[in-house]
Amino acid sequence: MTRDELLNELTDSECLDLVKLYQADTTQHFYTLVEQLYKLRDEHGFTTRISRFKTEVEKLTQSLDGFNVTPQHFKQIVQALDLSQRTQKVSRFMQTKDNHLAFAKPVDLVMYGDSITEWGPWHDGIHCVSLANRGLGGDTTDGMIFRIESTVACQPKLICMMAGINDLAQGYTVEEIIDNYGQMLNYWHERGIDVWVQSTLFVGQRLQDLNPLVAQLNQELIKLCDKTGAKFIDLNAVLCPEGFLPLNCSADDLHLNSHAYGQWITLLTPMLEEYFSLCE
């Protein structure tokens, strides 16, 4: 949308509908849109709410004078945010692992990974096999090791996994990630479970500094798969052929939309059909 169109939205609305504004022009990055709105609001002194959602920062600072935040106030805000985010993440990890173990049932396939896996429409899109979704938003390969028993609780024949982007974003080295992958592959192979390692996806423009590390990680994953006998599936060849996640696959340069998941499922389905036909 143009600058004038965004100004009109800020002028005419008490609270913006970000979904509507983004869908009006999906050729721009969602983060760019929101940044433009913040900038225009500040430039013109608008009081328009950017969205109906109240962030934790907004809640913590609503009683403060924004022009007179003391170092002590700032420290308190940082500590409160750290406490909230840390406890939410660990609590979700513990409860997700507990639920996955408590309600496990035998399936043919387990999809394992972080939010990119968790948010996948696997049950809606894959009909040839029974499956369990064991993705967990924000997880790293280190966290996946600690909840790996939730995958074998399903007694699967095959595990399709993707991981690594959160590790890289948090500063873990490629070597550390490969070591964690190796531990997981050995764990499953010792239990007679086949594994397909799906390439860590490239990210979009906002996170593009990670892409050289993603490329390095995938090269090491290919070597690891050759060494351990796991199958490597190059999803980037389909979703990110130019070495970055394109706009038509994501609104935030990281997580996938239906178009991207559709391509993923289209690639995976015939491979699954062939694999499980041979298992019969």
Q: Please count the other Cβ atoms lying within 10 Å of the Cβ belonging to residue 199.
A: 23
Report in angstroms the alpha-carbon separations of 159 from 127, 205, 236, 240, 268: 16, 30, 19, 23, 12
pLDDT score at 67: 58
Give the least confident one: 57-71, 106-120, 187-201, 228-242. 57-71
The token pair at 9 is 């939205």
Can you tell me which residue has the tokens 């948090």?
170
Q: In angstroms, rounded to a whole number, what is the distance separating the alpha carbons of residues 80 and 72?
A: 12
pLDDT score at 278: 76
Band (58; pLDDT cuts 50, 70, 90): confident
- Determine what percent of the chain is predicted with pLDDT higher than 90: 72
Q: Please, what sign has the CA dihedral across residues 199, 200, 202, 203?
A: positive
Band (231; pLDDT cuts 50, 70, 90): very high
Q: Please, what sign has the CA dihedral across residues 206, 211, 217, 222?
A: positive
pLDDT score at 63: 66
End-to-end CA distance of the chain: 54
Q: E-assigned strands of the chain?
A: 109-113, 131-135, 158-162, 194-198, 231-233
pTM metric for this prediction: 0.89
- For 80-100, what is the mean pLDDT? 87
Q: Are 264 and 235 in contact (CB under 8 A)?
A: yes
Give the least confident one: 29-38, 253-262, 263-272. 29-38
Band (74; pLDDT cuts 50, 70, 90): confident
